[in-house]
Structure 1
Amino acid sequence: MDKTSKIYIAGHHGMVGSAIWRQLEKQGYRNLVGKTSKELDLRDQQAVKSFFEEEKPRVVIDAAARVGGILANSTYPYQFLMDNLQIQNNLIDSSLAFGTQKFIFLGSSCIYPKLAPQPLKEEYLLTGSLEPTNDAYALAKIAGVKTCEAIRKQFNKDYVSLMPTNLYGIHDNFDLQTSHVLPAMIRKFHDAKLNGHSTVELWGSGTPLREFLYVEDMAASVIFALQNELPEHLYNVGTGSDLSIKELAEIIQKIVGHKGEVIWDATKPDGTPRKLMDVSKMHELGWKHQVDLEEGIARTYAWFLENQAYFKEVKI
């Protein structure tokens, strides 16, 4: 890919999009385009078409989405379904209409059935029922994957979908109402430490197994997809290893320095029992993650400490 090619990163201010932007700049890409949600509402079909007609990007990286944890997904299923459908449909359709040569669609491991065999392989898509606590988001992302696959088949376009495992890192969302489990734990343990090492209450039993990928590794996988023509339409992106939520809490508690008690509220939902990605296809092509979990959490907490004064509560 020519480093003067125009690359539009949708969601460039988010955790994933900003990581992709930083890495592209480091590698010498200079023709990067990004618009804030105030500058361009991706749910507005006509606004997106006008933007593409003017800019005509050669590459589009779709890192824009409404995201959140179990609480947010369960409380606002309509917004998670409709907003994500509108965002991705507008981006994909305008990319096709205005000659975008390469489209990289980012999704989530939640697209796979709740009780699919582990580790999750790409071919397990649509073979069973989804996890009900985030099925609205998952359905939207499945639609995006299938739309990119259809364009690839019908128009022979280089449209590819990358499905990351649970992501975390700098520029994460630490709002307790809308965040994912790892940043929420960082926030809870930090606040409790400041409150005299008070008790921390965590959702569920602590037994579900989860896999976590540092956001800079995710960005590296996107650049890998950008610089190579991948032979298939769908790829898992992760570490290939997991741990229990309880083990995760113990690591975060240690890194944060919280000395108080941890109570697990088993009346709250656990979500999917296990979500481990089979990442053998990406490994075979030459991509592999570089940052281990403890190092990534330590980097994330250091960033949290430096930037906590600027955090704002997220409202939907």
Structure 2
Amino acid sequence: MFFHKDQSEMSAVYNEISTIPFSSEDNLESNSEKDSKASSPASGFQRCRVSTVILGLLAVVQLAVIICLALHIEANNKNVTEEKDELKRALNDSSLQLNSLTQGNDKLKKINSEIVARSKNLTEDRNELKAKLDDLVSRQNTMIEERDNLTRINADTQTSCRRISLERDQLRERLNILAQPGWIIFRQSAYYMSSTTKTWQESRDHCRSLGTDLMIINSKEEQVFANGFKKYMWIGLTDSEGEGRWKWVDGTPMNTNYWSENEPNGKTEENCADIKSFEIESSWNDESCSHKLNWICEMKLNP
């Protein structure tokens, strides 16, 4: 189809070119007719030969132009054919790539849908597991609180049991002590009057060996009770830690006193108190702690 089209174009060009010489020939003939009237027969022949040569040259030129046009058109047709084939190949490649991309896109869409579905399932599973975990943590915290409460209760119970056991043992010990001769109960205390004499410190050590201490007098009733033994005896009062600062053996200061007249008067030489003038209410006397006297122990029944 391209070949016939090129032939038609070449024929049109040839016809267009071929019109030019003939026009020139007509002009020459016209001019020759004019000149023939004025020139001789010899010059007319010469002009005819020149016209023939010119026509031959024009034919050669036309043929050369036609050949060039034909070659050019053939080259263009070849290039167009190659470009067309190349475009076809490119189109085929593009179609293949498009098909491949379409298939890949479809696969990706399918994979994405699967991932979305799995993600949804995983999210639901995660939320369910988180709820279970929160429930377990809550239950664990509750159990930990209960355990801690039970531990505290158990510790308190054990402490109470130890305290009760200790108190029981102390009560047994006191009962055993009180069952021995020489103990007298007055109000909330039990008292033991010695039958021998010792120094103030030795007397206190003996009381402590019995789980008691020397007598502490905090009321008039106790003072009258102590005088009733009618014994020259040590009581639990001393200023050995500081002159004039009299304290009971439990560390409490002396607030109520029953000193005899002009007592205490021994200064640094007499640092321990005793009951001496038991015929009167104010019977206390300061004495040298190294003297040996009877003593009285006091055991609190409700410490």
Question: TM over 0.5: same fold?
Answer: no
Question: TM-score, with normalisation over the residues of structure 1?
Answer: 0.18
Question: TM-score, with normalisation over the residues of structure 2?
Answer: 0.19
Instruction: Return the index of the structure with the highest Cα Rg.
Output: 2
Answer 1 or 2: higher relative contact order, Cα 8 Å, separation at least 6.
1
Greater per-residue helix proportion: 2
